[in-house]
Amino acid sequence: MIINVNGLSDTEKLGEQISGKLKGTEIIAFFGGLGMGKTTLTRSIVKNLGSDDDVSSPTFAIVNEYTAKNLMRIYHFDMYRISSWEDLESTGFFDYIDNGIILIEWSENIENALPENTIKISIKPGKSENSRVFEIEGLDI
Ligand X SMILES: Nc1ncnc2c1ncn2[C@@H]1O[C@H](COP(=O)(O)OP(=O)(O)OP(=O)(O)O)[C@@H](O)[C@H]1O
Q: DSSP character for 62?
A: S
Considering only residues 58 through 97, tell me which ones interact with Mg ion, judged by CB under 5 A.
none
If binding is defined by CB under 5 A, does position 38 make contact with Mg ion?
Answer: yes
Nearer to ligand X, 7 or 50 (CB): 7
**Are 41 and 30 spatial neighbours (Cβ–Cβ below 8 Å)?**
yes
Phi then psi for residue 52, to 5 deg, are: -100, 5
Please list, in sequence order, all residues whose beta carbon lies within 8 angstroms of the beta carbon of residue 31, skipping any fewer than 6 positions away: 107, 108, 120, 121, 122, 123
CA distance 87 to 38: 22
Q: Which of 17, 25, 57, 130 binds Mg ion (CB under 5 A)?
A: 57
How many residues touch Mg ion under the rule CB under 5 A: the total is: 4
If binding is defined by CB under 5 A, does position 118 make contact with Mg ion?
Answer: no
If binding is defined by CB under 5 A, does position 39 make contact with Mg ion?
Answer: yes
If binding is defined by CB under 6 A, does position 91 make contact with ligand X?
Answer: no
Judged by the rule CB under 5 A, the positions of this chain that interact with Mg ion are 38-39, 57, 105
